[in-house]
A = this chain, B = another copy of it.
């Protein structure tokens, strides 16, 4: 017998976003979805509103393959768009509203949405670029309680009224699971924003793997049906790491905080008893150092950080507050979940070793293949020492950059997605990131990880934030420079104090002597990218130019 496909009489089940709603519809109809201090909905209402939005979009002429752009802070409306737009067969464009107006314009003209849903807070930006928008036929205004709709462009309608006038029934169509569901733009530090995109199949598989991975964690950091979820990475940024899809699939209570302010986030954490969140390290730092955080019991709050390295000092500070802190690794191109630093179940716990594990990139998620390779795609040893570029396969990676065949081919060279990160795989299965391929400091024939140096300096009691960059050196090629934001409440150290502080790390072999910065500068602020990462490109430009 040489027949590998048996006959098919059944329903051809495509993996579509609509199916993520099957279980919660039955399990959690009365569970809540909360928006700031302004609105509360049950899942029953959420389902009705998604139906109304689907009807509204359809009546606006939106159908299969049409893009619809959204500009909003994290909200119940965004969650409705996460479902209704792709469930129609249309494509949700999540607009990064932290980009410059010119970049927003570029991404809108590139994705060519027919409809734009926009929070009135962004009308000034829209006014600036409105004349040059090429594809948008209609604008739907999202009006927060705190705002008015004075400067509305024409033609426009208001979201709540638009929904209210719609019918309460909609048959979501079946279609091919490889239809694109979402698109957004990733901005490196150079070049134009690049369009990544994800299919229904990819988002459903990402959701399943997220639940399977977070759910089965043995020691800490597990997601379960009694959790209360609040995102603190924006929904416009890689679907808030896919957690809104996962939380909805589980039927969790969800809390959407709108624009991130430490006061509101802390207030919501407290009032709604939030148990599961995710953020970049800078936001974690902001939350912990805010005066209002003193009044918030953070015991047991599970927080995943990602986007950039979590300094051990910040992780320790979070743990001292009772936060169950751990890292994940991924990027816009990877959907994003790739590895997660749950503690392994074996053996006795050791606080110091555990925190060192929690700040690694973690171990591969189910179905993810992680390799570290040299320039010829040969694996470097998984010995905890050898570094190589992290390359990936998983079922939910962007299949390219839309409209950029050359960039797409480069991204996928050799059949693996190239992350541009240098990592070390250990025998324990954990991935440790060394640096971005472009941020690593090449000094005197050695490679020094800017992250390692930052990690050491971050432990100094006077240091609030630190960035380390390579600056040109005639003699050494590059040399590390440290840029430090000091704590206001601790006596300020000198450059020499910082260098002396690093001597211990050199002495115990944590870092080579070439890693000690020649220059230490104290600054008021560190430049960040639109998604809150240290903008080392800008720092290199500024501080190399300043020399």
- Residues of A that sit less than 8 Å from B by CB: 1-11, 13, 15, 19-20, 22-23, 26-27, 63-67, 89, 91, 112, 114, 135, 175-176, 178-180, 183, 197, 199, 204-205, 208-209, 211-212, 214-219, 222-226, 249-250, 342, 344-345, 363-370, 393-395, 397-400, 402, 405, 408-409, 411-412, 415-417, 425, 429
A7 CA to B183 CA, complexed, in Å: 12
Within 8 Å CB of A112, what residues of B?
Answer: 1
What are 25 A-B residue pairs whose CB atoms fall within 8 Å in the complex?
A1-B65, A2-B66, A4-B89, A5-B179, A5-B180, A6-B197, A6-B400, A7-B399, A8-B400, A11-B416, A13-B393, A13-B395, A23-B364, A23-B367, A27-B364, A208-B212, A208-B366, A211-B211, A211-B366, A215-B224, A216-B223, A218-B226, A219-B226, A224-B345, A225-B342
Within 8 Å CB of A411, what residues of B?
Answer: 9-10
Asked if A429 and B27 make an inter-chain contact with CB atoms under 8 angstroms apart, the answer reads: yes
A65 CA to B366 CA, complexed, in Å: 27
Asked if B224 and A11 make an inter-chain contact with CB atoms under 8 angstroms apart, the answer reads: no
A462 CA to B529 CA, complexed, in Å: 74
User: Given A9-B399, A9-B412, list of 4 further CB < 8 A pairs?
Assistant: A10-B397, A11-B415, A19-B369, A217-B224
- Copies in the assembly, this chain: 2
Within 8 Å CB of A205, what residues of B?
Answer: 15, 208
If the complex has contacts A7-B402, A11-B416, are A364 and B22 also in contact, measured as CB distance less than 8 A?
Answer: yes
Asked if A370 and B26 make an inter-chain contact with CB atoms under 8 angstroms apart, the answer reads: yes
Within 8 Å CB of A23, what residues of B?
Answer: 363-368
Asked if A7 and B400 make an inter-chain contact with CB atoms under 8 angstroms apart, the answer reads: yes
Which 6 pairs, one residue from A and one from B, show the smallest C-beta to C-beta distance?
A215-B215, A211-B212, A9-B400, A226-B345, A4-B65, A9-B408
Within 8 Å CB of A63, what residues of B?
Answer: 2
A306 CA to B3 CA, complexed, in Å: 33
If the complex has contacts A4-B64, A208-B208, are A26 and B364 also in contact, measured as CB distance less than 8 A?
Answer: yes
Within 8 Å CB of A6, what residues of B?
Answer: 180, 183, 197, 399-400, 402
Partner of A363, one of B26, B223, B364: B26
Within 8 Å CB of A15, what residues of B?
Answer: 205, 367, 395
Partner of A7, one of B4, B214, B249, B408: B408
Within 8 Å CB of A216, what residues of B?
Answer: 211, 214-215, 223-225, 250
Within 8 Å CB of A397, what residues of B?
Answer: 10-11, 13
**Distance in Å: Cβ of A273 to nearest Cβ of chain B:** 13
If the complex has contacts A10-B398, A224-B217, are A369 and B22 also in contact, measured as CB distance less than 8 A?
Answer: yes
Within 8 Å CB of A2, what residues of B?
Answer: 63-66
**Distance in Å: Cβ of A353 to nearest Cβ of chain B:** 17
**Distance in Å: Cβ of A426 to nearest Cβ of chain B:** 10
Partner of A91, one of B4, B19, B178, B223: B4
Chain B residue nearest in CB terms to A333: B10
**Distance in Å: Cβ of A126 to nearest Cβ of chain B:** 20
A342 CA to B1 CA, complexed, in Å: 42
**Distance in Å: Cβ of A114 to nearest Cβ of chain B:** 7
**Distance in Å: Cβ of A224 to nearest Cβ of chain B:** 5
Chain B residue nearest in CB terms to A89: B4
If the complex has contacts A26-B363, A395-B15, A405-B9, are A215 and B211 also in contact, measured as CB distance less than 8 A?
Answer: yes
A69 CA to B188 CA, complexed, in Å: 54
**Distance in Å: Cβ of A138 to nearest Cβ of chain B:** 15
**Distance in Å: Cβ of A135 to nearest Cβ of chain B:** 7
A400 CA to B7 CA, complexed, in Å: 7
Asked if A218 and B224 make an inter-chain contact with CB atoms under 8 angstroms apart, the answer reads: yes
Asked if A417 and B10 make an inter-chain contact with CB atoms under 8 angstroms apart, the answer reads: yes
If the complex has contacts A215-B216, A225-B345, A400-B6, are A67 and B1 also in contact, measured as CB distance less than 8 A?
Answer: yes
Within 8 Å CB of A11, what residues of B?
Answer: 393, 397, 412, 415-417
**Distance in Å: Cβ of A514 to nearest Cβ of chain B:** 32
Asked if B212 and A215 make an inter-chain contact with CB atoms under 8 angstroms apart, the answer reads: yes
Within 8 Å CB of A89, what residues of B?
Answer: 4
Within 8 Å CB of A366, what residues of B?
Answer: 20, 22-23, 208, 211, 249
Within 8 Å CB of A400, what residues of B?
Answer: 6-10
**Distance in Å: Cβ of A300 to nearest Cβ of chain B:** 14
Within 8 Å CB of A9, what residues of B?
Answer: 399-400, 405, 408-409, 411-412
Chain B residue nearest in CB terms to A407: B9
Within 8 Å CB of A249, what residues of B?
Answer: 366
Within 8 Å CB of A219, what residues of B?
Answer: 226
Chain B residue nearest in CB terms to A16: B367
**Distance in Å: Cβ of A191 to nearest Cβ of chain B:** 18
Within 8 Å CB of A64, what residues of B?
Answer: 2, 4
Chain B residue nearest in CB terms to A211: B212
Within 8 Å CB of A415, what residues of B?
Answer: 11
Within 8 Å CB of A363, what residues of B?
Answer: 23, 26-27
A394 CA to B204 CA, complexed, in Å: 13
Within 8 Å CB of A369, what residues of B?
Answer: 19, 22
